[in-house]
Amino acid sequence: MAGPSLSFEVIDEGTRLRMLRSQLHDPRFVLEGIGALLEGVSADAFQDEKLGPVRWKKRSETGMVPNWPGILGHFAEKAGDPPNRFFGDRETLTSTGHLRGSIRSRVVNQNTVEVGTRVHYASVLHTGGESKTARITDALQKRLRAWISRAVGKSIKLREKENPKGGATVPTQKRDAAQKKANMAAELSWLLNPNLTGETLTVTHPARPIVGVPKTLVADVQTIYGGLVESA
């Protein structure tokens, strides 16, 4: 005579076990969580200028201080002074914030989640390669020339306000910042060359990975979802 048997279905599974069984059958919840972690890795990459242990090259290491391709792009669209972010060594790949805000994850199937972007120039920035600047038009060069003149003129005016006999003077930090900006602006005078009118220039980008799976992420996934299994 056969001994007693228990059917799994008659055992009270409990909420956690039922949830786990559902996730193992269709693990979309887990994959969406991993996708969110991957998006976080990319967000950290823009903030820290590195992906995991892979450090991005600074602008100064690639001769991009000031960021003259970005400045060309600015004057291709409008007049006015370029944003300050074009003149520093940080805020790499964040000239507009469009790329940083475009990183998304999606569940492809029951076994796969992917993260990436539809921004067309992301690939060359991620892996390294070449791209083209905005076309250098007469209007662009006119705007660029006016800005260079303003930057240099502002620096001269601040120096002229210095009072060698004492009294009110321009704060040193403000004067030095204006001088630095004027120097950078003057360095871009080569872009006013008439021979460049109508041309686009080639820019070489180093690899700056923006998506990936660093070892720290693997550990996080094991901690979060391994704990889910153990607690069920």
**pLDDT tens digits for range 96-133:** 788 999 999 999 888 888 999 999 989 999 999 999 99
The answer, yes or no, to whether residue 26 has pLDDT greater than 70, is no
Contact 120, 44 (CB under 8 A): no
Nearest-5° Cα angle at 137, 136 to 140: 85
The answer, yes or no, to whether residue 46 has pLDDT greater than 60, is yes
The answer, yes or no, to whether residue 147 has pLDDT greater than 50, is yes
Question: pTM for this one?
Answer: 0.75
Cβ burial 155-183 (10 Å sphere, 16+ → b, else e): beebeeeeeeeeeeebeeeebeebbebbe
d(CA 20, CA 14): 10
d(CA 90, CA 93): 9
Q: Which residue has the tokens 């041309």?
A: 199
Question: Across residues 174-179, what is the average pLDDT?
Answer: 89
Q: Return the pLDDT at 5.
A: 42
